[in-house]
Structure 1
Amino acid sequence: MTAALTATTAPADRTPRGPRGLVWAVLRVHRIALIFWGLALAAATVLLIWLHAIGDEARKGNVPCSTPAHDGFAACASLESVTVDDVYAGWIELATSALTYAILPVAAWAGAALIGRELENGTARLAWTQSVTPARWLAAKLAVPAVLLATGTGAIVLLNNWARGDGAPDLVGDWYYTDVFVGTGPAAVAYVLAGLALGALAGLVWRRAVPAAGMGFAASLVLCVVMERFREDLWPKATRTATGVLEMPRSALVTHWDNEVTDGVRHITATYHPESHFWPIQYVETGILLAVAAAATLAAFRLLHRRLP
């Protein structure tokens, strides 16, 4: 009697391949940065929820007062919220500034750890020998952090706006202040994406972690300065003219005054951005930043292709 022999096949290769494998590889390699990003988002969330909770109390203290009370103004000593007012305004300013300048550490990290270090120590070329093309490697390197940065930054922007309540300028600053403008709109997300792309491009240019971090940081800083300098020119300005005295709307960004005296009469013309220009300027600036991010990304892929043997 012969025993039937059953053929056995070798188990299928379970090594993750394709986009999923690259995604998990990126997350594993940069898990420290991922943990830091998660902790930063958690801390910002807790802070903004707390600021929302004390916001009403802070706004109660944000009223005119005098010592002693007179002419209908309450005594300053009777306003229990004065201290809360200062605490609220200070922490709101800190949170908004962190959102505004998140581009700088993102660009430095992208240049150093995301790209520069892996080219410097040879792990990138090792990955290219494991059935991963250089283009797919770079695409995964950019796509994974881009999704995480965009999602996290967008969520914090929404929380920041929620914590700011009615946006009283005396508490949270006028809309045209750089920190307020960037940290309360979609431009914040576009800034970090531009920083990611600029940092990655710097990493491919220098191929060493430290110089790439410095150049990514510097390029992003230049971008911030240029956008701040030309922000008022991104949308047509309004004008207002009066004779004698000209009163401007609250929170108007006045860019130019023109005084002319004819026949003893003073004519005043102001060129300005009203608060209603916040969103048009936001959209234009966001579009420019996304174009910068796209151009830097395209340049990074072209440079990678040119430097391959």
Structure 2
Amino acid sequence: MIWLTWRQHRGQLLVTFGLLAALGLMFLVSGLEAAAFVASNAGLAPGDLDAALGARYDAVYTVFGWLPIVAPALIGAFWGAPLLGREFERGTHRLVWTQAVPVRRWLAVKLVVLGGLVALGGLAMSAMVSVWRPRFRTDTFGNVGIFNMLGVEPAAWWLFAFMLGTAAGAVLRRTLAAMAVVVGVLAVMTFGLFTLSDHYATPSRVVTADQTTVTSQDVRLVEHAWLDPAGREIAETPPGACPRGVDAGRNDSARTAYEECLIGKGYRHVVYFHGHDRFWRFQLIDAAILLAGAAGLGLVTVRAVRRAS
């Protein structure tokens, strides 16, 4: 069965790992160039150096920015959705399930072998990003896109997407319909987990006159409020606290002037955030949710196949 699985899906395997190799080469070349660029521009201020790196490697940033969304969607659409959806569409499941290999074993080998390869592919992506990222000094926790490409997140997302596509193909029995389900559900899950993650732990609270002491760190911001001179926490400052002409908020200088006015009158920033020390806690909770979802989708797939057989 393992040999048969390889023969049936070798095209997907070769294309996927070919793309991984191409991404790895892109990360390697850009990372080495970025390291040399940083070394040759060591005199630049950190902000100017980051801006220069962003301008120089804009294309790489663009590709990387889409990966947390596109990579799982491709796995679900082109690995998971056709796995059973195509068998039902073509009617080949009737022939396959009448052979000497029992249906349960046929399905178990498919899911275990392909699911294992998908998870390994996600871990390979994580390893490449882990080596590439430090060259560009990007946040690992505060930037959710990068967070989803590090640690165990890619493996969990890819496996969930694969099982989602497989379950959708088994239930709908149409490959294109299953692909559409994959894209829609992944979009909802991405936003849902991002929103839910604020509640994985009680946020830290800091009262400060300069919120950049918090926002400049690798943290995940949850909420911002103000502390008035009487010590009361308020969501918005009173309309007459500072001249509205200063508070246009339409550009950085206007916002800075308005904040300086408020600080001068005794107001303080109240910042709620999750610190970088919670990186692995959030990773493991995300992964547990996704793996539980993948297991549930596996049960849906098994039930759909049993009904069809």
Q: TM-score range by the shorter chain?
A: 0.7 to 0.9
Which residue matches 1:16? none
In structure 2, do the counterparts of structure 1 residues 234 and 151 end up closer, same or farther at CA, with 3 Å as the change threshold? same
In structure 2, do the counterparts of structure 1 residues 223 and 262 end up closer, same or farther at CA, with 3 Å as the change threshold? same
* 8 Å Cα contact 1:54-1:84 kept in structure 2: no
TM-score by length of 1: 0.78
Deviations 1:234-282 (A, max 9, x none): 232111124x545325233222122132347434422111222222111
For residue 128 of structure 2, the aligned residue among 146, 159, 177 is: 159
Counting only pairs closer than 5 Å after superposition, residues 7-46 of structure 1 correspond to structure 2 as: 22-46=1-25
Counting only pairs closer than 5 Å after superposition, residues 30-109 of structure 1 correspond to structure 2 as: 30-60=9-39, 65=44, 86-88=55-57, 90-92=59-61, 94-95=63-64, 97-109=66-78
Larger Rg: 1
Which residue matches 1:270? 271
* 8 Å Cα contact 1:142-1:196 kept in structure 2: no
Deviation, 1:141, is: 2.0
Q: Secondary structure at the match of 2:141?
A: coil
In structure 2, do the counterparts of structure 1 residues 156 and 268 end up closer, same or farther at CA, with 3 Å as the change threshold? closer
Which residue matches 1:222? 188
Deviations 1:78-100 (A, max 9, x none): x9x98666334641552363255
Aligned residues: 272
Deviation, 1:182, is: 0.4
In structure 2, do the counterparts of structure 1 residues 111 and 272 end up closer, same or farther at CA, with 3 Å as the change threshold? same
Which residue matches 1:178? 144
Deviation, 1:176, is: 2.3
Deviation, 1:209, is: 1.8
Q: Secondary structure at the match of 1:185?
A: coil
1 or 2, which has the higher helix percentage? Answer: 2
- d(CA) in 2 for partners of 1:293 and 1:62? 47
- d(CA) in 2 for partners of 1:295 and 1:62? 52
Q: Secondary structure at the match of 2:134?
A: coil
Superposed CA RMSD in Å reads: 2.8
Which residue matches 1:305? 306
In structure 2, do the counterparts of structure 1 residues 165 and 261 end up closer, same or farther at CA, with 3 Å as the change threshold? closer
The letter for the 2-side match of 1:260 is L
Q: Secondary structure at the match of 1:269?
A: strand
* 8 Å Cα contact 2:80-2:169 kept in structure 1: yes
Q: Secondary structure at the match of 1:161?
A: helix
Q: Extract unaligned runs of 5+ from structure 2.
A: 231-264
Which residue matches 2:226? 259
Deviations 1:104-161 (A, max 9, x none): 1111124432110011212222111111222222212212221221112212211211
Which residue matches 1:7? none
In structure 2, do the counterparts of structure 1 residues 96 and 245 end up closer, same or farther at CA, with 3 Å as the change threshold? closer
* 8 Å Cα contact 1:92-1:164 kept in structure 2: no
1:195 aligns with 2:154: no
* 8 Å Cα contact 1:193-1:293 kept in structure 2: yes
In structure 2, do the counterparts of structure 1 residues 185 and 93 end up closer, same or farther at CA, with 3 Å as the change threshold? farther
- d(CA) in 1 for partners of 2:200 and 2:4? 41
- d(CA) in 1 for partners of 2:142 and 2:210? 24
* 8 Å Cα contact 2:207-2:270 kept in structure 1: yes
Which residue matches 2:179? 213
The percent of aligned pairs where both chains have the same amino acid is 24
Q: Secondary structure at the match of 1:194?
A: helix
- d(CA) in 2 for partners of 1:179 and 1:35? 26
Which residue matches 1:121? 90
Q: Extract unaligned runs of 5+ from structure 1.
A: 1-21, 66-72
Which residue matches 2:248? none
- d(CA) in 1 for partners of 2:29 and 2:296? 39
